[in-house]
């Protein structure tokens, strides 16, 4: 019977792949045909051509991304229906449904049904694929009557197989093994902010990614044009998760760390803990505001200005009056400066006109040239710029942190020691803590280019025209354009978005990364406990609707600027518009390791959530005590043993930042090209990292050097050591020359 069932599933899945290949070929033919179409004709015709090309390109990208494990489940229902569940929906040409998208409401019972609440499900079948072939099936029989009919009951075999598989350095989706509590959170309503609290190994990141895919599927009309932003803690983390969303059928999510959210700035460096904490305070918003205001300077004395040999004069009172009128416009600094300059240029032109008329020289019929003489005067330009200089965010923040006098004037609320800690060279590299300061400055300064406002108005007018054209174009489109198995219709907004030459088309995600003012429809924040108040301020500015999915674990906070509770982190920005869900099961970490990490945290005075581990590992944590000068020698000595234990799996060596270079050198001397460090290292099977880079990642085995140093390195906060101890899926080793932090040893 098992052989017959396996043969049946192989035939059916082969048919699904055949349909997938048919759709790919169909979209390729349609795209090639559109590309052969010339751009001649009316604006409306070009709009239709480009819109169709966009649809075919997007659909092809989706079809190409879901090849791995296309189908993963089947539901046998009380009605007799066999409902297959997969990464996308597939139908025949005559719209007979072959497979249901995992995000569709009718697929929800695959994750939610239990023996106590069957929800009409008799059997849930897991399809385990190798390439395109079904290699095994596992059945959860929910209706006991099926057991007498030859059904089998294997429980969570698919889940445990996934948990015990070797790590690859890339995160895999869990779409085939989502558990009921995870599914409930994934399918939560869009409105407001959802906080998902979960200890290590509970699948927070997987839930966040699958929720992003689910929301894009369920609320596509709202989110497709505005986009979804996913924020992670580091470039290593973003590389680790980059394949998950495409495998779930979504390719348009913007993925970035906080350090990449200011267009034109790549900030990957980290500040010292004390400096990051200061820059993360909400007080820094007022400091930036003060710094902007202080750039509007009133001279102490009259300014004498030479305009083509004529001496003119501006008084402090005139400067002050022009400044006050410019500020009263309510415009950003650089735009308000235009008003300031216009007022003073007019007053100087009037002075020059009066002087010429009193002297009796010059052409009395035409004085228009005088305004240009004033505007071109070197003295005038210098005087106006000294009073109100055009300013970029980068220039404002770099000078503020480089010049003690400017910082003292802008930040009276900081102590002298805190201001000294912030000081650095003007050409210093940007850090992640700087990005919210730059964003705040950009909000207050506005664009330096005086024409930016007019250009935006012109773009808005063009957009309105494109939408009107799109509405007319859609009326002429064939209603049969919808592909089999593709949900949704083309809207005027979709059409206008792609009203451009094909080679220059950008997705909303691509446009969002170059536009600081882009308003996202939803933001997903992973490892959210690390964010400072200023970083939260930046993210809330990016999503005016305040629609968030926020995942993290307060106990794992290692940033000095991070919060100690979700209420502390979110209330200043979201008030009471957030709700809390908690994940309670640890799927990743073996129970022996998870319990040791919790004991350590509790002994250090940190209250942590202790999710129940679903499995017991083969090894207890291993502890090596060695002299201080023998830590690296011991590491090299035990690495063969660790690598043999995980047999081709992924191993991480985690140490504090000050020891990172020496550790990497020692391991590379022994293992050469097999060793990687930092963001680009996950392709190697041995990785050397600090705790910040390791956050959110998982490895088969982890070796921690000097655990006491990780605990002390953050002023007594346990985050770094707690994070490091909870990264392994199989095996943990600690090498120490000091007394081991309390609680690790049972």
Query: Is there a single domain that holds both residue 313 and residue 279?
Result: no
* Residue where one domain finishes, among candidates 114, 136, 164: 164
702 touches 727 (CB < 8 A)? yes
DSSP code at position 441: H
* Residue 441 belongs to some domain of the structure: no
437 touches 286 (CB < 8 A)? no
* Residue 214 belongs to some domain of the structure: no
pLDDT higher than 60, residue 149: no
Q: How many domains does the chain have?
A: 4
Query: Is there a single domain that holds both residue 345 and residue 421?
Result: no
For residue 525, give the H/E element and its range: strand 522-525
pLDDT of 690-729, one tens digit each?
A: 888 888 888 999 999 999 988 875 444 567 898 899 999 9
Query: Is there a single domain that holds both residue 309 and residue 402?
Result: no
Residue 479 pLDDT? 41
Give the DSSP letter string of 556-621.
Answer: G---TTS-SSHHHHHHHHHTT-EEEEEE-EESSS-HHHHHHHHHHHHHTT-----PEES---S-PP
Nearest residue to 733 (alpha-carbon basis) of 616, 651, 615, 628: 651
Residue with tokens 């003690």: 404
Q: Do the strands 133-141 and 121-130 form a parallel or antiparallel pair, or are they unpaired?
A: antiparallel
* Residue 642 belongs to some domain of the structure: yes
Query: Is there a single domain that holds both residue 48 and residue 147?
Result: yes
Listing from the earlier edge strand, what are the strands of the sheet with 82-86?
90-91, 97-101, 82-86, 71-77, 121-130, 133-141
Q: Mean pLDDT across the stretch 477-500?
A: 45
Residue 713 pLDDT? 55
* Residue 128 belongs to some domain of the structure: yes
Query: Is there a single domain that holds both residue 286 and residue 373?
Result: no
Residue 46 pLDDT? 61
Query: Is there a single domain that holds both residue 338 and residue 289?
Result: no
Residue 458 pLDDT? 52
Q: Mean pLDDT across the stretch 256-267?
A: 89
* Residue 227 belongs to some domain of the structure: no
> In this predicted model, which residue has the larger pLDDT, 410 or 27?
410
Residue 445 pLDDT? 96
> In this predicted model, which residue has the larger pLDDT, 13 or 237?
13
pLDDT of 355-397, one tens digit each?
A: 888 776 555 556 678 888 899 999 999 999 999 999 999 999 9
Q: Mean pLDDT across the stretch 83-94?
A: 92
> In this predicted model, which residue has the larger pLDDT, 671 or 510?
671
Highest-pLDDT range among 122-136, 191-205, 422-436, 669-683: 422-436
Nearest residue to 563 (alpha-carbon basis) of 553, 548, 578: 553
The torsion angles phi and psi of 37, rounded to 5 degrees, stand at -70, 135
Query: Is there a single domain that holds both residue 280 and residue 368?
Result: no
* Residue 215 belongs to some domain of the structure: no
Q: For residue 527, what are the contacts with CB-CB under 8 A and spacing of at least 6?
A: 232, 233, 237, 551, 552, 556, 695, 696
Q: Mean pLDDT across the stretch 531-546?
A: 94
For residues 411 and 407, give the distance between their C-alpha atoms in angstroms, rounded to a whole number. 6
Query: Is there a single domain that holds both residue 635 and residue 694?
Result: yes
Q: Mean pLDDT across the stretch 540-554?
A: 92
583 touches 558 (CB < 8 A)? no
Query: Is there a single domain that holds both residue 307 and residue 290?
Result: no
- Quote the tokens at residue 307: 């305009």
103 touches 218 (CB < 8 A)? yes
* Residue where one domain finishes, among candidates 164, 183, 203: 164
> In this predicted model, which residue has the larger pLDDT, 449 or 309?
309
Residue 281 pLDDT? 95
pLDDT higher than 70, residue 278: yes
pTM of the predicted model as reported, rounded to 2 decimal places: 0.74
Residue 504 pLDDT? 45
For residues 519 and 539, give the distance between their C-alpha atoms in angstroms, rounded to a whole number. 10
* Residue 416 belongs to some domain of the structure: yes
Q: Mean pLDDT across the stretch 2-22?
A: 92
Query: Is there a single domain that holds both residue 154 and residue 290?
Result: no
Q: Mean pLDDT across the stretch 400-426?
A: 96
pLDDT band at 294 (very low <50, low <70, confident <90, very high): very high
Residue 368 pLDDT? 72
Residue 532 pLDDT? 93
Number of Cα atoms under 13 Å in the Cβ half of residue 134: 26
pLDDT higher than 80, residue 398: yes
Query: Is there a single domain that holds both residue 352 and residue 423?
Result: no
> In this predicted model, which residue has the larger pLDDT, 512 or 118?
118
Residue 175 pLDDT? 67
Residue 101 pLDDT? 92
pLDDT higher than 50, residue 607: yes
> In this predicted model, which residue has the larger pLDDT, 351 or 35?
351
The vertex-714 CA angle with 527 and 598, nearest 5°, equals 65
- Looking at 454-468, 558-572, 731-745, which range is the least confident one? 454-468
- Looking at 184-198, 251-265, 440-454, 572-586, which range is the least confident one? 440-454
- Quote the tokens at residue 484: 């089999």
For residue 310, give the H/E element and its range: strand 310-314
For residues 638 and 617, give the distance between their C-alpha atoms in angstroms, rounded to a whole number. 20
Query: Is there a single domain that holds both residue 126 and residue 72?
Result: yes
Residue 44 pLDDT? 58
291 touches 444 (CB < 8 A)? no
- Quote the tokens at residue 356: 């010429």
pLDDT band at 292 (very low <50, low <70, confident <90, very high): very high
For residues 121 and 220, give the distance between their C-alpha atoms in angstroms, rounded to a whole number. 29
- Quote the tokens at residue 688: 């050397």
Residue 654 pLDDT? 94
For residue 12, give the H/E element and its range: helix 2-36
Q: Do the strands 121-130 and 71-77 form a parallel or antiparallel pair, or are they unpaired?
A: antiparallel
* Residue where one domain finishes, among candidates 325, 357, 387: 387
Residue 314 pLDDT? 93
> In this predicted model, which residue has the larger pLDDT, 59 or 492?
59
* Residue 283 belongs to some domain of the structure: yes
pLDDT, the chain, mean: 83
Q: In 3-state terms, the chain is what percent helix, strand and coil (to 5)?
A: 50, 15, 35
pLDDT more than 70, % of the chain: 82
Residue 143 pLDDT? 81
- Looking at 268-282, 465-479, 574-588, 697-711, which range is the least confident one? 465-479
- In terms of residue numbers, what domain contains 342? 303-387
Q: Mean pLDDT across the stretch 5-28?
A: 93
Residue 654: CATH number of its domain: 3.40.50.300
526 touches 212 (CB < 8 A)? no
Residue 457 pLDDT? 52
Residue 222 pLDDT? 81
Q: 137 by DSSP, 3-state: which?
A: strand
Residue 153 pLDDT? 42
312 touches 348 (CB < 8 A)? yes
> In this predicted model, which residue has the larger pLDDT, 137 or 16?
16
For residues 694 and 679, give the distance between their C-alpha atoms in angstroms, rounded to a whole number. 10
Residue 446 pLDDT? 93
Nearest residue to 705 (alpha-carbon basis) of 728, 682, 733: 733
Residue 498 pLDDT? 46
pLDDT higher than 90, residue 399: yes
Residue 714 pLDDT? 47
> In this predicted model, which residue has the larger pLDDT, 160 or 348?
348
- Looking at 1-5, 336-340, 381-385, 639-643, which range is the least confident one? 1-5
């Amino acid at each position: 019977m098992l052989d017959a069932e396996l043969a049946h599933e192989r035939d059916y899945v082969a048919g699904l792949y055949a349909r997938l290949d048919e759709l790919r070929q169909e979209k390729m033919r349609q795209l090639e045909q559109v590309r052969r179409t010339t751009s001649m004709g009316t604006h409306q015709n070009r709009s239709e051509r480009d819109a169709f090309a966009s649809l075919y390109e997007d659909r092809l990208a989706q079809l190409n991304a879901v090849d791995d494990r296309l189908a993963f489940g089947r539901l046998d229902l009380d009605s007799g229906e066999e409902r297959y569940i997969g990464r996308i929906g597939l139908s025949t040409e005559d719209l007979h449904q072959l497979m249901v998208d995992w995000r569709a409401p009718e697929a929800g019972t695959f994750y939610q049904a239990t023996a106590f609440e069957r929800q009409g499900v008799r059997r849930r079948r897991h399809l385990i694929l190798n390439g395109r072939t079904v290699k095994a099936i596992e059945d959860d029989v929910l209706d006991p009557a099926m057991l007498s009919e030859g059904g089998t009951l294997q429980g969570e075999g698919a889940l445990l197989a996934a948990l015990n598989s070797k790590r690859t350095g890339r995160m895999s989706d869990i779409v085939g093994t989502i558990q009921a509590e995870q599914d409930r959170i994934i399918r939560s309503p869009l409105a407001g902010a959802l906080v998902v609290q979960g200890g290590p190994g509970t699948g927070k990141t997987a839930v966040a990614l699958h929720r992003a895919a689910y929301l894009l599927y369920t609320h596509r009309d709202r989110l497709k044009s505005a986009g979804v932003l996913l924020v992670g803690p580091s470039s290593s983390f973003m590389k680790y998760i980059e394949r998950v969303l495409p495998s779930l059928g979504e390719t348009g999510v913007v993925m970035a760390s906080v350090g990449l959210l200011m267009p034109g700035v790549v900030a990957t460096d980290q500040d010292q803990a004390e400096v990051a904490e200061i820059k993360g305070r909400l007080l820094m918003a007022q400091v930036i505001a003060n710094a902007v205001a202080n750039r509007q300077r009133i001279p102490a004395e009259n300014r004498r200005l030479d305009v083509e040999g004529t001496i003119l004069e501006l008084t402090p009172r005139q400067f002050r009056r022009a400044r006050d009128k410019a500020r009263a416009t309510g415009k950003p600094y650089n735009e308000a400066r235009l008003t300031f300059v216009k007022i003073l240029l007019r007053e100087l032109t009037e002075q020059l006109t009066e002087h010429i008329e009193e002297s009796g020289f010059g052409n009395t019929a035409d004085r228009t040239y005088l305004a240009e003489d004033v505007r071109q005067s070197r003295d005038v330009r210098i005087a106006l710029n000294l009073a109100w200089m055009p300013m970029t965010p980068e220039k404002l923040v770099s000078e503020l942190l480089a010049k003690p006098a400017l910082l003292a004037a802008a930040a009276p609320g900081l102590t002298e020691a805190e201001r000294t800690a912030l000081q650095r060279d003007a050409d210093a590299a940007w850090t992640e803590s700087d990005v919210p300061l730059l964003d705040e400055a950009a909000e207050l300064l506005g664009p330096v280019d005086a024409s930016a406002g007019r250009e935006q108005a012109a773009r808005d007018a063009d957009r309105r025209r494109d939408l009107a054209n799109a509405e007319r174009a859609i009326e002429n489109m064939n209603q049969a354009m919808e592909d089999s198995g593709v949900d949704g219709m083309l809207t005027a907004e979709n059409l206008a978005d792609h009203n451009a030459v094909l080679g220059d088309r950008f997705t909303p995600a691509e446009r969002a990364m170059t536009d600081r003012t882009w308003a996202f429809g939803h933001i997903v924040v992973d490892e959210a406990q690390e964010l400072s108040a200023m970083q939260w301020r930046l993210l809330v500015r990016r999503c005016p609707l305040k629609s968030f999915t926020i995942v993290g674990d307060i106990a794992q906070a290692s940033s000095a600027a991070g919060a100690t509770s979700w209420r502390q982190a979110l209330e200043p920005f979201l008030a009471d518009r957030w709700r809390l869900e908690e994940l309670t099961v640890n799927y990743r970490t073996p129970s022996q390791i998870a319990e040791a990490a919790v004991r350590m945290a509790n002994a250090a005075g940190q209250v942590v959530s202790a999710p129940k581990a679903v499995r017991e590992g083969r090894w207890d944590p291993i502890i090596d005590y060695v002299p201080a000068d023998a830590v690296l020698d011991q590491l090299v000595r035990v690495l063969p043993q660790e690598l043999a234990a995980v047999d081709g799996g992924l191993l991480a060596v985690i140490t504090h930042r000050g020891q990172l270079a020496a550790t990497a050198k020692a391991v590379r001397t022994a293992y050469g090209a097999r060793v990687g460090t930092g963001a680009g290292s996950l392709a190697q099977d041995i990785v050397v990292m600090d705790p910040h880079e390791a956050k959110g990642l998982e490895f088969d085995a982890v070796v921690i050097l000097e655990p006491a140093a990780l605990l002390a390195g953050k002023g007594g906060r346990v985050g770094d050591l707690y994070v490091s101890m909870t990264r392994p899926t199989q095996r943990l080793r600690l090498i120490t020359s000091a007394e081991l932090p309390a609680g690790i040893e049972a």
